[in-house]
Amino acid sequence: MLHSAKNLLTHMSRRAFNQQIGKAAGMMALSASLPAWPYQEKPEKKLGVALVGLGGYSTGQLAPALQQTQYCKLAGIVTGTPAKEKIWSEQYGIPHKNIYNYENFDTIADNPAIDIVYVVLPNAMHAEYTIRAAQAGKHVICEKPMAISVQECEEMMAACREAGVKLSMGYRLHFEPHNQEVMRLGQQKVFGNLTFVTCEAGYQIKDNWDQWRLKKALAGTGALGNMGVYAIQGAINVVGENPLYVTAQEFKTKPEKFKEVDETVTLQFEFPGGTVANLQTSHNARMNRLYAAADNGWFELVPYSPYQGIQGKSSEGALALPQVNQQALQMDDFAYYILHDKPTRVPGEMGMRDVQIIEAVLQSAATGKKVPLKNLAF
Amino acid sequence: MLHSAKNLLTHMSRRAFNQQIGKAAGMMALSASLPAWPYQEKPEKKLGVALVGLGGYSTGQLAPALQQTQYCKLAGIVTGTPAKEKIWSEQYGIPHKNIYNYENFDTIADNPAIDIVYVVLPNAMHAEYTIRAAQAGKHVICEKPMAISVQECEEMMAACREAGVKLSMGYRLHFEPHNQEVMRLGQQKVFGNLTFVTCEAGYQIKDNWDQWRLKKALAGTGALGNMGVYAIQGAINVVGENPLYVTAQEFKTKPEKFKEVDETVTLQFEFPGGTVANLQTSHNARMNRLYAAADNGWFELVPYSPYQGIQGKSSEGALALPQVNQQALQMDDFAYYILHDKPTRVPGEMGMRDVQIIEAVLQSAATGKKVPLKNLAF
C-alpha cells in the first residue's frame, strides 16, 4: 500500500540516497517501507497539468514541483489575474493556447495538451471547478479540504464518475517517507497495538485579516478544514482504521478576528481497535506534531507536516529518511495511476470521508455530544 | 516568585555549573531565572524529616535526596513492614527511637528529632496521616494528589491551621530549573501572550495489575490524580492563571484492566487571558511533554516531568539549564520556609485547588458539559 518511498530515487541521485541511508544512526529498517517499485515503464508522454488558481501554494510549491516530475508536467494555468499570464508564460514556457481564465475555462475540454486539472482555489470553489473540469473530460486533483460540505463532495464524485475521469486529493503527506514510515509502524503494529495518538497542526494568522480563509463563504471552516485535516489524517493514517466516534470542542481566543469561522479546535477519536486520539488545530497557534504510543514503544514526527524538514524518531532511535519533493511525488503518483488506469491511493472518497468527519466535529463542538461516525465514504 | 534555581549550586560545584552554562548554545538568559538567593543564613540545625510509607518513591528518590539537603535530613521512618526497619536503619543510620509503625505513629508527637512528616502513602491515606501528623505538632508535606476529595483537603488544611503547622505539597517541578524557566517565559510574557498550551503526562501500566493505583478505594482516581496532576499543573504554571472552565473526556482502551478508576483522560481549559489548553493523561500510554505557543514564539519541555533528564527549547534555541536533584531542592525549600516562618510556594491550598479541578474534570467527563471552575482554593 505504501509504495512510493522509492520514488524519491527519481528526485535524488542513488549515491546521495545511499549516503543518507549510510549516515542513519539507529534508523528503522528502511527497506520495509520500500515495497516493489510500481513505476517500471517509461511514459510515452508526460501528462499535462493545468493549475487552477495561482496563489501561494501553486506559485511556491506546485509549479516548481512540476518541473521535477517524470510522468506529468506543468502545461497550463487558469487565472483571473491577467498580469500573471505573462509572468507564468515566461517563467515556465506555457503557450498562450494553454492559458485560461474563469470565463473561458470550460473550453479546456478542447485542449489535448491538458490531461489533469489541479484545483488550488479557495475551498468554496473546489466543487464548481472540479465538476467543470470533469465535465471537460479532465482528470482532477483537488486541494484539501475537498469541499465545504459533504453534499458538494458527493456531487464532485458523481461528476467524475459520470465523465469517466479520476479524482484525487492533494494529500501530499502520503508520498513523504517519514509519514509513510509511521503509517507502516502503526498499521503493521511494529511496536504493538497503538494505545494513544496525538496529532496537532496549526499556525498563527498574525496579519492579512482580510484573507479568504477567515470568510465562511469562501473557506467553509477555518483552521479545521485547513490544518485540522492534517491532524485528522495523521491519526487515521497511523492507526489504519476509521474512528467510530468523535468529541470536539471549539475555542476563540480572538473572537473579534475569527468572527465567521473556527479559530482553535480540539477533538478526540475512538477507534475500533481501542486506540484513543486527541487532536488539535488552530489558526491562532503554531503547533506541528504527530505522536503515537504503542504497547511496546512509541514514535513521533516533529515537525509532522511541513513541505520540507520533517523529522521523526521512535523508541528505537531516529527515523533517518530522506527529504523529498512531496508535491512532485504526489503528482507523479497520480499521473502514473492515470496512465495505468489504476485507482489512486488518495481518492476523492478519502477527501469526502474527511469532510464527513469535519461536519461531525462541528456538530459535536456545537452540541457537546459524542457523535458517531457512520457511513464514511472511504 | 521563582527563586530556587540558584539552589542547584548547593548540589553541584560552581565550576561544574559554570561549565554547563558555558556550553549552552542559544540558551535563554539564565540570570533571569535566578533572582536573589533567599537562603542566606546557615541553619542552626537541620530539620528532621520522617517518611511515612516506604514504597518506590521514598526508597528510590526521597531518601537519597535527603542525603543531599542543607536544611533538613532524613531522621525517621514510618512503615508497616518490620523487615524494612532494619534495612533503613542500617542504610541511613536511623535510630530505633525514630522508627514508627502505623499503630504507634501518633507518639511521634513526643519526638523532638522529627520536625517534618512527609506523607508518601496511597492517595486515600493522605488525609488521615496528614491530620494525625499535624495533631502531633509536625509540619507536613504531602504527595500528590493531595487527597481523594475536596472535603478531605479542607479537613487537612483545617488540622494544620489548628495545630499551627505548615502544609506543603510534593510538587517537585516547582524547584526544577527548566520548569522554572518556562514558568518565567509564560508568566512574564517573554514571547507575548500565550495562545495555546498542551501538556501531557502518562505512562503505561503493563503488569502488577493488583497495584493500589488501580483501586478506587485507595487511589480515588487513576491516571488523572497520579499523572494528570502534572498536566494540569503544567498548563496553570506557564499561564500563571487559574482556568475559568474545563471540558473533559474519559476513555478506556482496556476496560477489563481499568475497572475502578480512569485510564485515559483528555481535558481542555479556558483561561481568563484567552489561553486555551488541551491536556492528556493516561495509565495506558507513555506521554510526556509541555508545549506553549505564544504570539511571538513558542517553548516546550520534552520530556517535561521526569526526575532527571528534563530538556527544553524555545523558538530562540535550547534551554540549556542544569539537571538538579528536584526532591532535595523541594525539601530544602520547605525546611527553609519553616525555619523562617514564611509561606511555602507550594502550599496545601495549591494541592486543594488541583483536587477541585480533578473533581470538575470527572464531572465534565461524566456529563459532557463544560464545568466552571469557581472558588478555587489557590
Q: Are residues B149 and B60 in the same domain?
A: yes
Residues in chain A, overall count: 378
Write down the pLDDT at residue A33.
32
- Chain B residues whose C-beta is within 8 A of a chain A C-beta are 195-196, 198, 200, 202, 204, 206, 247, 249, 251, 253-254, 264, 266, 268, 270, 274-276, 278, 280, 282, 284-287, 289, 291, 293, 295, 298, 368-370
User: Number of folded domains in chain A?
Assistant: 2
Query: What digits encode the pLDDT tens for the residues A190-233?
Result: 999 999 999 999 999 999 999 999 999 999 999 999 999 999 99
Interface test with B, best of A253, A269, A271, A290 (most B CBs within 10 A): A253
Query: Which residues 6+ apart lie within 8 Å of B81 measured at CB?
Result: B54
Low-confidence ranges of chain B (pLDDT < 50): 1-37
Give the domain-ending residue among A172, A207, A242.
Answer: A172
Q: Are residues A198 and A86 in the same domain?
A: no
Q: Are residues A147 and A258 in the same domain?
A: no
Query: Which residues 6+ apart lie within 8 Å of B165 measured at CB?
Result: B133, B134, B137, B138, B139, B140
Q: Are residues A27 and A165 in the same domain?
A: yes
Residue % of chain A over a pLDDT of 90:
87
Identify whether A230 is a catalytic site residue. yes
Q: Are residues B81 and B206 in the same domain?
A: no
Q: Are residues A260 and A151 in the same domain?
A: no
CA distances from B214 to A207, B229, B282, B314 (A): 50, 16, 12, 37
Q: Are residues B171 and B294 in the same domain?
A: no
Q: Are residues B269 and B280 in the same domain?
A: yes
Closest CA to A179 of A357, A2, A366: A2
- CA distance to partner chain B, nearest, from residue A306 (Å): 16
Closest CA to A47 of A376, A373, A269, A337: A337
Domain assignment present for residue B220? The answer is yes
Domain assignment present for residue A342? The answer is no
Write down the pLDDT at residue A66.
98
- Which element (helix H / strand E) includes A327? helix A326-339
- CA distance to partner chain B, nearest, from residue A312 (Å): 14
Contact assignment for A274 to B253 by CB distance below 8 Å? yes
Amino acid identity of A144? K
Residues in chain B, overall count: 378
All three cell numbers of A102, joined, read 474563469
Interface test with B, best of A194, A196, A244, A301 (most B CBs within 10 A): A196
Q: Give the Cβ contact number of residue B308 at 10 Å.
A: 10
Task: Output the 3-class SS for chain B.
Answer: CCCCHHHHHHCCCHHHHHHHHHHCCCCCCHHHHCCCCCCCCCCCCCEEEEEECCCHHHHHHHHHHCCCCCCEEEEEEECCCHHHHHHHHHHHCCCHHHEECCCCHHHHHHCCCCCEEEECCCHHHHHHHHHHHHHCCCEEEECCCCCCCHHHHHHHHHHHHHHCCCEEECCHHHHCHHHHHHHHHHHCCCCCCEEEEEEEEEEECCCCCCCHHHCHHHHCCCHHHHHHHHHHHHHHHHHCCCCCEEEEEEECCCCCCCCCCCCEEEEEEECCCCCEEEEEEECEEEEEEEEEEECCEEEEECCCCCCCCCCEEECCEEECCCCCCHHHHHHHHHHHHHHCCCCCCCEHHHHHHHHHHHHHHHHHHHHCCCEECCCCCC
- CA distance to partner chain B, nearest, from residue A251 (Å): 7
Question: Cell numbers 464527513 label which residue?
Answer: A356
CA dist A358 and A295 (Å) reads 29
Contact assignment for A253 to B266 by CB distance below 8 Å? no
Write down the pLDDT at residue B44.
72
Q: Are residues A192 and A68 in the same domain?
A: no
CA dist B198 and B93 (Å) reads 44
Write down the pLDDT at residue B243.
98
Q: Is A290 helix (H, G, I), strand (E, B) or coil?
A: strand
Question: Cell numbers 488550488 label which residue?
Answer: A120
Residue spans of beta strands (DSSP E) within A71-149: 72-78, 99-100, 116-119, 139-142
CA dist B312 and B290 (Å) reads 9
- CA distance to partner chain A, nearest, from residue B217 (Å): 26
Indicate if the pLDDT at residue A25 is higher than 50. Answer: no
Write down the pLDDT at residue A342.
87
CA dist B187 and B207 (Å) reads 40
Contact assignment for B278 to A266 by CB distance below 8 Å? yes
Contacts of A274 in chain B (CB under 8 A): 253-254
Domain assignment present for residue B18? The answer is no
All three cell numbers of B241, joined, read 492563571
Query: What digits encode the pLDDT tens for the residues A325-370?
Result: 999 999 999 999 999 988 899 999 999 999 999 999 999 999 999 9
Contact assignment for B266 to A278 by CB distance below 8 Å? yes
Find residue A266's DSSP bridge partners: A249, A280
> Is residue A276 within 8 Å of B264, Cβ to Cβ?
yes
Contact assignment for A253 to B274 by CB distance below 8 Å? yes
Write down the pLDDT at residue A44.
72
Domain assignment present for residue A82? The answer is yes
Write down the pLDDT at residue A10.
37
Q: Are residues B148 and B203 in the same domain?
A: no
A164 burial via Cβ count (<10 Å: 0-12, 13-18, 19+): exposed
Query: What digits encode the pLDDT tens for the residues A76-132?
Result: 999 999 999 999 999 999 999 999 999 999 999 999 999 999 999 999 999 999 999
| CA B122 to chain CA mean position, Å | 15
CATH number of the domain residue A222 falls in: 3.30.360.10
Give the domain-ending residue among A113, A147, A172.
Answer: A172
Domain assignment present for residue B8? The answer is no
Contact assignment for A249 to B264 by CB distance below 8 Å? no
Q: Are residues B57 and B72 in the same domain?
A: yes
Write down the pLDDT at residue A14.
37
Write down the pLDDT at residue B35.
31
Interface test with A, best of B200, B245, B253 (most A CBs within 10 A): B253
CA dist A225 and A229 (Å) reads 6
Write down the pLDDT at residue A29.
33
- CA distance to partner chain A, nearest, from residue B368 (Å): 6
Query: What digits encode the pLDDT tens for the residues A42-81?
Result: 667 899 999 999 999 999 999 999 999 999 999 999 999 9
Identify whether B291 is a catalytic site residue. no
Task: Output the 3-class SS for B195-248.
Answer: EEEEEEEEEECCCCCCCHHHCHHHHCCCHHHHHHHHHHHHHHHHHCCCCCEEEE
Write down the pLDDT at residue A32.
31
CATH number of the domain residue B110 falls in: 3.40.50.720
CA dist A348 and A154 (Å) reads 9
Question: Cell numbers 515503464 label which residue?
Answer: A41
Domain assignment present for residue A222? The answer is yes
Contacts of A293 in chain B (CB under 8 A): 202, 204, 282, 285-287
All three cell numbers of B53, joined, read 510509607
Write down the pLDDT at residue B45.
85
Give me the domain span that covers residue B217.
Answer: 177-323
Query: What digits encode the pLDDT tens for the residues A240-297?
Result: 999 999 999 999 999 999 999 999 999 999 999 999 999 999 999 999 999 999 999 9
Domain assignment present for residue B357? The answer is no
| CA B339 to chain CA mean position, Å | 21
Contact assignment for B195 to A249 by CB distance below 8 Å? no
Number of A/B CB contacts below 8 angstroms equals: 98
Contacts of A284 in chain B (CB under 8 A): 195-196
Contact assignment for A198 to B280 by CB distance below 8 Å? yes
Give the domain-ending residue among A136, A152, A172.
Answer: A172
Write down the pLDDT at residue A26.
32
Domain assignment present for residue A328? The answer is no
Query: What digits encode the pLDDT tens for the residues B73-118?
Result: 999 999 999 999 999 999 999 999 999 999 999 999 999 999 999 9
Could you tell me if residue A199 is left (phi over 0), alpha (psi between -120 and 50 degrees) or otherwise beta? beta
Q: Are residues B144 and B212 in the same domain?
A: no
Contacts of B204 in chain A (CB under 8 A): 195, 293, 295
Write down the pLDDT at residue A289.
98
Question: Cell numbers 458539559 label which residue?
Answer: B369
